[in-house]
Amino acid sequence: MAEVTLAAESRTEFGKGAARRIRRADRVPAVIYGHGAAPVHISLPGHETLLALRLANAVLTIVIDGKDEQLALVKQVQRDVVKGFLKHVDLVTVNRGEKVVVDVPLHVVGESAPGTLVNVEHQVISLITDAMFIPTGIEVSVEGLEAGSQISFGDIALPESAELHGDPTAMVLHVVIAPTQAEPAEGEAAEGGATESTEA
């Protein structure tokens, strides 16, 4: 996974007023913590940070005040529920070669057997993986699967650098028979054919 470098600035002012001033300057309040160190309060460039967060589990190189570098993963993001801008970002420090627990998106690929539907129970998979080799996504193929087929977390092929974190027997998805057009109730069928049922 490619690293993303963000230029951070230290901050000493806190509270809602200070946060608003930071955001008006097109920057985002943030904090870095982890490994037993005291939290470091910073601000990040707004547009660059927004672009970086489009990448799931991106490893960020945070350069603080042009000198101190720290690798970090995004732990939590607060957004404005109406306008969608970033309000605050929590980052956790990582080291090269360190194992981390992350949720990675699952991508269902392929087509199940004709006349079936795929019911997905989980959209992400929790993995233990090298911080520098976090997959951007894991594919789960349903190609040709018949009704009654199931895929559990333990059935999913993982990269060599990753291992499952969680219950391998938990179901990810299952294949069911697709619902067919409902039979018309008695007395509803007109001569020459059945009425067509529709869904709202």
Structure tokens at 185: 């109730």
pLDDT in tens, 6-49: 999 998 877 888 888 888 888 999 999 988 888 999 999 999 99
12 and 81 part of one domain: yes
CB 107 within 8 A of CB 132: no
18 and 87 part of one domain: yes
Number of domains in the chain: 2
Residue 193 belongs to some domain of the structure: no
What pTM was estimated for this model as a whole? 0.74
pLDDT in tens, 118-128: 999 999 999 99
Q: Residue 167 is part of a domain; what is its CATH number?
A: 2.170.120.20
Q: What percent of the chain has pLDDT over 90?
A: 55
65 and 113 part of one domain: no
118 and 58 part of one domain: no
What 3-state class would DSSP assign to 28? strand
Residue 39 belongs to some domain of the structure: yes
pLDDT in tens, 49-73: 988 888 878 889 999 998 888 999 9
Range of the domain at 10: 4-94
Helix (H) or strand (E) holding 164: strand 162-164
